[in-house]
């Protein structure tokens, strides 16, 4: 458990550095970062292979969600916003599609997962809000939601997205990104 934690911590430290440089096409850094990661994992049991480890992490239990102190009303409202506006692209539970790492013929990547198995959790709440507000229309294909969703709706949907993240991801996100206000 703690080995895996350290491993994830190493990953996030590396990834956060890698991701500051290129803001709009946020999909490229995790790809390159996810590939070299398996080597340090060689010493740990095979279940820890990072490329798949994130997806294999246990889903949060209701208790661990409660420990995050996220407002239940926001979670409920955020789930509705997500279902209406985001699920069609990012998947009903933020899981996206299995081919999300594959660049399409138009040079765009499919919508990435938001469930903690990709890159979204490498951003502070403030950055997520900006990404949702501004999107990457034209370049990356994420619509801009500014003016289409209220501040409250954007805030709510971010809270809901955080409930998708496994405990270990959430803990590292909180300690290494949110509390340090990194990108
Ligand atoms: C038309 C499809 C589409 C819809 C609808 C959509 N997205 Fe996206 N989203 C994308 C794509 C494509 C990307 C990747 C953009 C890029 O790489 O520039 C993305 C990226 C993101 C990211 C950054 C992820 C990361 O790994 O850094 C977040 C957060 C996000 N979307 C949240 C949302 C939310 C919340 C909604 C609903 C309000 C939503 N998206 C609706 C297509 C969509």
- The pTM of the full predicted model, rounded to 2 decimals, is 0.78
Is 183 contained in some domain?
A: no
- Cα pseudo-dihedral 172, 78, 27, 57, rounded to 10: 40
Is 147 contained in some domain?
A: yes
Q: How far is the CA of 165 from the centre of ligand 1 (A)?
A: 16
Is 124 contained in some domain?
A: yes
Is 148 contained in some domain?
A: yes
Percent of the chain with pLDDT strictly greater than 70? 68
Is 134 contained in some domain?
A: yes
* Residue span of the structural domain in which 151 resides: 2-178
Mutate to test the pocket of ligand 1, among 103, 142, 153, 162 (most ligand atoms within 8 A of CB): 142
Task: Give residue-wise pLDDT tens across range 115-155.
Answer: 999 999 999 999 999 999 999 988 899 999 999 999 999 99
Is 6 contained in some domain?
A: yes
Q: Which of 31, 27, 51 is CA-nearest to residue 131?
A: 27
Count of structural domains within the chain: 1
Q: How far is the CA of 112 from the centre of ligand 1 (A)?
A: 7
Task: Give residue-wise pLDDT tens across range 149-183.
Answer: 999 999 999 999 999 999 999 999 999 999 987 56
CATH of the domain at 71: 1.10.760.10
Q: What pLDDT is recorded for position 183? A: 62
Please say whether the dihedral angle defined by the alpha carbons of residues 67, 68, 71 and 72, taken in this order, is positive or negative. negative
- Cα pseudo-dihedral 110, 113, 118, 119, rounded to 10: 80
């Amino acid at each position: 458990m703690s080995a895996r934690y350290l491993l994830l911590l190493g990953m996030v430290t590396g990834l956060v550095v890698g991701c500051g440089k290129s803001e709009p096409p946020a999909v490229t850094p995790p790809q390159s970062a996810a590939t070299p990661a398996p080597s340090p994992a060689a010493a740990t049991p095979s279940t820890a292979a990072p490329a798949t480890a994130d997806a294999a992490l246990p889903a949060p239990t209701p208790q661990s969600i409660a420990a995050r102190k996220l407002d239940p009303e926001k979670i409920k409202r955020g789930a509705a916003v997500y279902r209406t506006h985001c699920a069609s692209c990012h998947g009903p539970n933020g899981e996206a599609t299995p081919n999300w790492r594959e660049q399409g013929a138009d040079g765009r990547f499919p919508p990435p997962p938001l469930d903690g198995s990709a890159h979204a959790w490498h951003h502070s709440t403030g950055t997520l809000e900006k990404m949702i507000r501004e999107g990457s229309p034209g370049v990356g294909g994420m619509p801009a939601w500014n003016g289409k969703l209220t501040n409250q709706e954007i805030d709510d949907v971010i809270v809901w997205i955080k409930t998708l993240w496994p405990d270990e991801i959430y803990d590292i996100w909180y300690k290494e990104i949110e509390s340090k206000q990194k990108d």
